[in-house]
Structure 1
Amino acid sequence: MNFFDINNIFFELLGVKMSYVEFYATFTGLVAVILSVRENVWSWVLGLVNVALAFVMFYQIQLYPDMFLQIFFFITNIIGFWQWKFPKEQEANIHNELKISQLSPRQFGVYSLVGLVCTALLGTFAKNLSELIPELFSKPSAFPYMDSFTTIMSIFATFLLIRKKVEAWWMWLAIDIISTYMYFVKEVKLYSLLYAVFCVIALLGAINWTKEYRKTI
């Protein structure tokens, strides 16, 4: 059986079957996020492996907006590595890497408004994918609007993370709470557990980055 097949079971624990692709997507994702909280630039490199595995998994469980999002993540992982590792001189910390900063209230408001509008547009598109391209998407999109919200806000949060903005972690916290629910319902329960852990990590990231930012002002 194909290694990347969601039905290719790696192990079963407490009645929950775990495929190879879900297990390794979960593991690489968890380590990459932990490294991000610690401001470790190599989190972006491990992230490349994570998004490739997640792309394959999301296609098979019909979370199409999440699937398309992995293409974006692949590109931004490369950009993120470069931004953190080689910042402009005025944006560098004592380790000569990008320092933590914060959005203005106006900037945060604009991000939020645009995110909600884009969610409505993408959700409508995702809802009709199986009718627009039935040859490729034979099943209807699961949770089109909820999935679209996490997709759009993940894009924004990623850009904020690339720029080391404190608000990135608050956005990730909201995204992770919703994602935990979606993945649990779609029976990828280890990935759901991963996102429950991400909720804790995102909260810790927000707290830690806020402390670090306040040291610089």
Structure 2
Amino acid sequence: MRDFFDIDSIFFTVLGYPMSYLEFVGTVVGALATWWSSRANIWSWPAGLISVTTFFFMFYQVQLYPDMFLQIFFFITNGIGWWQWTHPKTGEEDQKSELKISQLSRQQFGLILIAGGLATVLFGSIAGNLHEWFPILFNKPSAFPYLDSFTSVMSIVATFLLIRKKVETWYVWLLVDAISAYMYFVKGLKVVGIEYAAYCIIAILGAYHFTREYRSYNQPAV
């Protein structure tokens, strides 16, 4: 079982690419979780718990430290999201007695993006110095301190928006997934990179599905 969490423990090799157990499980279960999220399916949350656990160990071993810490946040918020979707407040429930899809104002969305940019600068500077401050834990410098911090910060933003079923979550995820795909390809995590490129498509579909359902609430019953 210990070998499962070692990125050098190979499950199989395809087209010359060695697939570790960690990358395989995280990729497959993560893809299911993302697809279910785009369809507002409650099973996205428990699947997400499994995926983020595997990615935590994988990101540590490839020096994507902000992404590693992000998985802890994801683990907690997957539990919160699971609870909030199944226990909406009075007036916030849909026909399935789950949380309704809603939308932010332009001002709210703009303020969130500005806050995300400022947080990126802060966390990027921290990530860039982890190997100097804590050399025992982080024996190599962060691969992409600012770019990785940006995707981590905006993933946090997107997750909170998803917990509240906001339409804008998918626009943020689209940006995060596109940048993440680039980083993973550069770090040699090709399958994860392909997965995140596919997530871009799912984000577009998620935006379409959420927008269509949100607009259906305002249509008079026939």
Write out per-residue CA displacement over residues 46-68 of structure 1, whole angstroms, 9 at most, x where no aligned residue: 11111100000000000000000
Partner of 2:187: 186
Unaligned runs of 5+ in 2: none
Partner of 1:160: 161
Give, as a single letter, the amino acid of the residue that structure 1 aligns with 2:42: V
Displacement of 1:17:
1.1
Write out per-residue CA displacement over residues 49-106 of structure 1, whole angstroms, 9 at most, x where no aligned residue: 1110000000000000000000000000000001101101210001110010000011
Displacement of 1:15:
1.4
Alpha-carbon distance between aligned partners in 2 of 1:191 and 1:18, rounded to the nearest angstrom: 10
Alignment of 1:55-204 (within 5 A): 55-204=56-205
> Percent identity, aligned pairs only?
59
Alpha-carbon distance between aligned partners in 2 of 1:17 and 1:147, rounded to the nearest angstrom: 24
Secondary structure in 2 matching 1:90: coil
Displacement of 1:140:
0.3
Matched, 1:2 2:3: yes
CA RMSD of aligned residues (A): 0.8
Alpha-carbon distance between aligned partners in 1 of 2:214 and 2:103, rounded to the nearest angstrom: 8
Alpha-carbon distance between aligned partners in 2 of 1:48 and 1:157, rounded to the nearest angstrom: 16
Displacement of 1:147:
0.2
Matched pairs, number: 217
Partner of 1:24: 25
Partner of 2:39: 38
Unaligned runs of 5+ in 1: none
TM-score by length of 1: 0.99
Alpha-carbon distance between aligned partners in 1 of 2:124 and 2:146, rounded to the nearest angstrom: 4
Moved more, 20-29 or 9-18: 9-18
Report runs of 4+ in structure 1 exceeding 2 Å deviation.
none
Partner of 1:211: 212
Give, as a single letter, the amino acid of the residue that structure 1 aligns with 2:13: E
